[in-house]
Amino acid sequence: MNRLLKWCVWEMNNEFIACTYFTVMLLMYAIIDLVIGKNTITTAVIFEMYLVNYLLSIVQKVILDTQKDYSRRSFLLRAIIISLLSVILVVIVSTLGGWYKGMPLWAGILIIAMLLLSYLTVWIIISLSKKYDTKLLNDQLANFKRKQQN
């Protein structure tokens, strides 16, 4: 039962990350689609985007486990690896899926730039949340020690 619960928590966190990236990607795609006057997004493209982002979130969780402490250099290296893998996978899938058929070249470049920006945002949030969690745990430990002494 404990393994099932751990897997469910892991999966919920994974879904949250995947849906966040998917939302950013789909929103950017929709804005670009609207700007160029196309106004159509196929269900196949939406489904492919979600699957790509779900796979990318799994890769991110495997390569950069938020429960582990990494050195600054290791964290940065892992973030770069994930970002490069993500860009490569998005370029391959979007080309094979024809996401940008009939769109200008800048549309694909903008989507990739937004993807990288969303990754950067996630890395900053993870880094800040680890610092906050550490401070919170240290404060709780200090309070606990103070209560034990009284």
pLDDT confidence of residue 66: 66
Query: In this structure, what is the dihedral angle of CA atoms 128, 116, 86, 27, given to the nearest 10 degrees?
Result: 100
User: pLDDT tens digit string along 93-106?
Assistant: 988 988 888 788 88
Q: What is the 3-state secondary structure (H, E, C) of 82-108?
A: HHHHHHHHHHHHHHHHCCCCCCCHHHH
User: pLDDT tens digit string along 52-90?
Assistant: 989 988 888 888 776 677 787 887 888 788 888 888 888
pLDDT exceeds 80 at position 12: yes
Locate the domains of the chain by residue range: 2-149
User: pLDDT tens digit string along 95-139?
Assistant: 898 888 878 888 878 878 887 887 788 778 877 887 888 888 888
Contacts 24+ apart (CB under 8 A), 15-20: 15/54, 15/57, 17/57, 17/60, 17/61, 17/122, 18/50, 18/53, 18/54, 18/56, 18/57, 19/53, 20/118, 20/122
Amino acid at 54: Y
pLDDT confidence of residue 20: 82
What is d(CA 27, CA 5) in angstroms, rounded to the nearest whole number? 32
**What does the pLDDT average to over 18-28?**
86
Q: Which of 10-14, 35-39, 67-71, 101-105 has the lowest mean pLDDT?
A: 67-71
pLDDT confidence of residue 43: 92
Using pLDDT thresholds of 50, 70 and 90, give the confidence band for residue 46: very high
